[in-house]
Each structure stands twice: as structure tokens, then as C-alpha cells.
Amino acid sequence: MEPLRQLLHKTLRRRVLPLAIGFALVTAFFAFSFAHLLLADQDSPLHGRLILALWTFALVFVGVAVAAEVTSRFIVDRLPATPLPPTQAKQTESSGASATNPSGDTFRPPQRDLKRLVADLEEELRQRARDESQTTWTAATLKSVLRGELRGEEVLVVSNREPYVHQRRGDTIVVNRPASGLVTALEPVMRACSGVWIAHGSGSADRDVVDARDHVAVPPDNPAYELRRIWLSPLEEEGFYYGFANEGLWPLCHIAHVRPTFRNSDWEQYLAVNQRFADAVVEEAKTNDPIVLVQDYHFALLPRMIRKRLPKATIITFWHIPWPNPEVFTISPWATELVEGLLGSSILGFHTQAHCLNFMDTVDRLLEARVDRETYEVTHDQHTTAVRRYPISIEWPPAAAMTAHPVEVCHREIRAENNLPLDCRLGVGVDRLDYTKGIIERFRAIERLLELNPEWIGRFSFVQISAPSRSRLDEYQSYEAQVRALATRINERFCPSGRSGPPPIILKIEHHPPEAVYRYYRAADLCFVSSLHDGMNLVAKEFVAARDDEQGVLILSQFAGAAREMPEALIINPYNADQCAAALHLALTMPAEEQALRMRLMRRLISEFNVYRWAGRMLLDAAIMRQRSRLPELPLSTT
């Protein structure tokens, strides 16, 4: 007999039936005594009737208990064969030794055993759920998904930004990794997938290193996949990238109080370049049903273009920036065309559920389509697109080169390189020089900290690392000038010329390779992310990943998608300078134990929800979709 049945039988035999018989005997005894006390004349007929009634009640009670025992055994014998959890099985075995001597626990309440059984069963189910949800996602796991679920089917990635840029410096060619959250997320995925990445070749030496098919193997030191470069003319780059994408869609989708600009000429270039990339996808596809990962707002038209040429392709589009509400998005004169283009996707991914809902509301507003809010699917033009939330993340664990320098060494060397005292407290910010990143608001918060807490003057410095970005656009040129001017004014106010001491702000507007950025992460006491609007923001996750010493404090804008995942950070409103100043002071005075607790929780989340899990979830969803599409259709009934 199965262990579960044995336990239930033993519980009924040793607990329920003895209690019932014991209760009946006690009832009879008290009934007899009660009758003697109640009636002085024991020869009275009433005395006999009362005794008979009470004994009858006791016997009926015993009969009910016996019937319950028989019925329970009948039910238990028909239970499915369910093994006991290990803890309960051990308890059953150990209790068997004393089964012959049950006197010590005969009258314990039977509910105790049953409750323990239920609790153990529930714990086993919870443990199984935890085991499934906490699968460690690594590059090897992702490869096994591709081999097992997708059976090695080809994967193509399309993005505007390339993962490696070859630049000429004098007579030599150097390779840079661009400052891009998209590249940070996708590059380790492609190393695991070994597919083809199609991107715009923008480096001054990019043409010098490709083969006849415009391919180059990357990474340069350990090639793992192919990079196919697309060449754009200055006119195409001006209209497609700087014009429609970054003067139109970028400010449209970010609440940063910059007006979008839309021009017919930019739209024509955007349309033409999307078609160029669609042609490249068809050229690179070795089968008629590849998996194509389309990245970001540069290619909103691409999914539908690919769908027309490769109708069996599985197209996963990920929109890396926020999706605004319908009232905002319909500002674009080509809002309908953009949404129709995205609905060529098999799966359309966003960082947050709010962005998914905004997109579906936009479809509802613009198109004649079936929007299913229960399954999060949109059917348009006889094609169904699944709209899903996939919060993007970073590689875990970080590459060995990123954490090669011990924290103590980084602490000492970074301060020496910036002429700071060894005991100077250090903050760091890492961003592209972009108006959505809230760098001006960050500097104002530092100024407010020094106003409210003057004890930090000369004892705290903030290093702002900003990679130049889109510097051909007037809005970005103006923003860089404002950032430089504000940093200069704050430094002159709190560290005037001729006065010794570290400056409040150290501004570095130049490209820094990832290894150099991680040295600053590991040297800093805090990292300040003050985005005005951000889909996710991977800098926050990189800082946490860099701190294997479990020290340092993350200050994080409530308007970044990462704030929904990492509530252990100090969440702030970047527009509230006083609140940000208070968060800075709190970070600088936070005890080491609290820092470790917060950092440990955030590191655990990033380790579980890393970039391989992000890509793996999308690819698993794609695998299920492909398997369903290959099932034979049922014939229609003729009856």
C-alpha cells in the first residue's frame, strides 16, 4: 500500500476510532451518574427510561464512528498512488516503531497529523514551482534551448547599432564596443546562438575588415558569430537615423519635454532603409522560416516587410524604448503605418506591462483589428501577433574581465587617477549624453545636497561618464552645452579656483570601454540613475552586478523600467531636487549591513532574471509558436 494510504489508515485507526469509543464510554458513565443524582427514587420507571435513552445515545455515537471508519477506509483505498513528501515519509517510518504502544499519543487531536500532511504536500508543490522558476539561465542553457526546442534553427538579429565598431586611428585599426543597452543585452545572446547579426556599418574602418559579402567574424579575439554590415549613404543616414528615428520617434516615445519633428523626406528615407534591411534578411536566410529578432524603433516597418517575403518566418520584435499612450503616439503623421508594420511580428515585446497595454490601446484607436486583452494578442490582416512583456537584463555572471580588478584596488586607483583623496566619497553616473537621462537634474540634486549638507563639501565627488551621442543634432549639441555649463558653475560655487579640495563634479564626455566603466562601478560608493523616462536602464543592473563585495548604494529614478524590478534601490523622482539630495545623503551614510542586504537582494534578482533568461523566454515562446504552426489542421466537419 502506498505511504499516503498507510498514513491515513493509521491516523483513522489510532486516532478517530479510539476517540469515538472513549467518548461513548465517558458519556455512558456520566449518564448513569447523572440519572442517580437527578432521581432519588431509583425504582421509578422514569429512572430506567432515562438510563436507557442515554445508553442508546452512546451506542448510536459508537455506530456512527464505526460507519465513518469503514467509509473512510473505502475512500482512502481508492486514492491515487501519491507518494508522500520526504519529510512526512520519514515521520511515518519513525512512528511505525511505536505503533504497538500508542498509549502515549492516542488522544492527541487527529487534526495535527492531517494539517502536517497538507502543509508538507503544499511545501512540495511550492518547491517544485521554485525549482522551475529558478532555473539558472546561462549561455549553455540558451544553447540547449536552441538545440532542444528549436533544433539549431537559424537566428538572425537586425539592429541599427552594430556590436563592434572598427575605427581607424592613424595607421592602426581599433575595435570599440558602443555605449548601448541594446548591444549590452544582445551581444552575449548572439555569442550563445552563433547566428548572423545585421547592422549599419558606421565605423571609419568598417569597410576595411569585411569580406566580399560584407561579413566579419566577431568578437575579434574569439569569433562566435557573423556580423553583416549594411552601408548607408549620408542622405540615408541623415533622414533615417538622425531625422525620423531620433528627431521624430525618440522624443515622441519619451516624456522628456522635447518636441518631435516629422518631415516627409525623413519618412521616405526611413521607408527605404527599412526595405534595405528587409532585403538583407532575405539574402541571409538559409531557409524559408528563420527566426528573426528585430530590434527597436529604427525598424518599425521591417516586420511586415519580412512577413511579405518570408511568410513562414518567426519574427520577434523587441521595442527597447517606452511606448506612449495613443494620444501621444498619434501625433506622428504615420502612426497607422508604424503600427501596421509592427503587427507583422509573430511576437512583439516590451519591457513593462504598461507599455504592452499602451500599444494595444493604440491599435484599438487606429486599426480595424481584433484586440484580445485576455490573451494579449492582436489579429490584423489575417495574422496574429502576441504582445508580451520581456524585461531585458544583462549577462550574469559578468565577464571575468569586468571584475578582474579587486574592489580595494579600484577604490585606490580611481581616486588617484582623478586626484581625489583616498577617503573621498565617490558617486558615479554612466549614460549616453542624452536629454532623457536626466543628467542636468542629477547635477542639481548634487548642488542641493551640498546646500543642505555642507559637511560633504570637499568630501564627496561625483564622476559623470557620458559617451557623446547624436552630436549632429541641434538638441543634443544644446544639451551638451547645458551639461558642461552647469557642471562648471557648481564646481566654481563649491570649489572656487585657488581653493584646495576635490571638485563636486568630474565630467568625462568621452567613450569608455566596458572594462573601464566597471572599474568606476567597483570604486564608487553610490551610483545615481536619474532617467526622466527609460524603458529599462541597464546601467542600474550593471552597477549591481559589478558589486560582488555587496557594498554600494543604487539611487534609481522611478521613471526607469528597472525601478519596477529593484525596489531595494533608493527610488526617487528626478524632478524633485530635495528628495534626490536626501537620497544622496542617505546613501552616503547608510550602514554597511544595510547596503549588503539591499545589494544581496538585487544581485539575486539579476542572477535569476539575466539576459539569457530574457532571450530564452522569447525563443521558447517562438518555439511553441512554430510547433503549433506545423500541426496539421483538422478537416472541417461535413455533417
pLDDT tens digit string along 307-345?
A: 999 999 999 999 999 999 999 999 999 999 999 999 999
DSSP-derived 3-state class of residue 391: coil
* pLDDT digits 0-9 by tens, 17-57: 555 566 656 565 555 555 555 554 555 565 566 666 666 76
Q: Determine the CATH number of domain 139-389.
A: 3.40.50.2000
Per-residue pLDDT averaged across 247-261, rounded? 96
Q: What is the 3-state secondary structure (H, E, C) of 453-489?
A: CHHHCCCEEEEEEEECCCCCCHHHHHHHHHHHHHHHH
Of 610, 539, 549, give the one whose Cα is nearest residue 396. 610
Residue 388 clears pLDDT 50, i.e. is over it: yes
Residue 178: per-residue pLDDT: 82
* pLDDT digits 0-9 by tens, 394-412: 999 998 999 999 999 999 9
Per-residue pLDDT averaged across 61-66, rounded? 64
Domain range summary for the chain, segments of one domain joined by +: 139-389, 401-606
Per-residue pLDDT averaged across 58-67, rounded? 65
* pLDDT digits 0-9 by tens, 289-304: 999 999 999 999 999 9
Residue 504 clears pLDDT 90, i.e. is over it: yes
Residue 189: per-residue pLDDT: 79
Beta bridge partners of 318: 295, 349
* pLDDT digits 0-9 by tens, 462-471: 999 999 999 9
Residue 86 clears pLDDT 60, i.e. is over it: no
Q: How confident is the model at residue 132 (pLDDT cuts 50, 70, 90)?
A: very low
* pLDDT digits 0-9 by tens, 431-440: 999 999 999 9
DSSP-derived 3-state class of residue 152: coil
In angstroms, the CA 286 to CA 473 distance is: 39
Residue 2: per-residue pLDDT: 46
Q: How confident is the model at residue 131 (pLDDT cuts 50, 70, 90)?
A: very low
Do 531 and 560 contact (CB within 8 A), yes or no? yes
Of 255, 271, 261, give the one whose Cα is nearest residue 355. 255
Q: How confident is the model at residue 94 (pLDDT cuts 50, 70, 90)?
A: very low
Q: How confident is the model at residue 258 (pLDDT cuts 50, 70, 90)?
A: very high
Residue 3: per-residue pLDDT: 45
Residue 571: per-residue pLDDT: 98
- 401-606: same fold as 139-389? yes
Residue 361: per-residue pLDDT: 98
Residue 100: per-residue pLDDT: 39
Report CA-CA distances (Å) from 250 to 189, 254, 262, 408: 25, 6, 11, 40
Per-residue pLDDT averaged across 366-380, rounded? 96
Element (H, E) at 200: strand 196-200
What is the end-to-end Cα distance of the chain in Å, rounded?
Answer: 50
Q: Which residue has the higher pLDDT, 3 or 141?
A: 141
Q: Which residue has the higher pLDDT, 269 or 191?
A: 269
Angle, in degrees to the nearest 10, between helices 514-523 and 538-546? 70
Residue 142: per-residue pLDDT: 82
DSSP string, 498-544: T--S--SEEEEES---HHHHHHHHHH-SEEEE--SSBS--HHHHHHH
Q: Which residue has the higher pLDDT, 624 or 341?
A: 341
Per-residue pLDDT averaged across 507-512, rounded? 95
Do 554 and 540 contact (CB within 8 A), yes or no? yes
369 CB neighbour count, 10 Å cutoff: 18
Per-residue pLDDT averaged across 268-288, rounded? 97
Which CATH architecture group holds 401-606? 3-Layer(aba) Sandwich (3.40)
Per-residue pLDDT averaged across 457-463, rounded? 97
Residue 163 clears pLDDT 90, i.e. is over it: yes
Per-residue pLDDT averaged across 150-155, rounded? 75
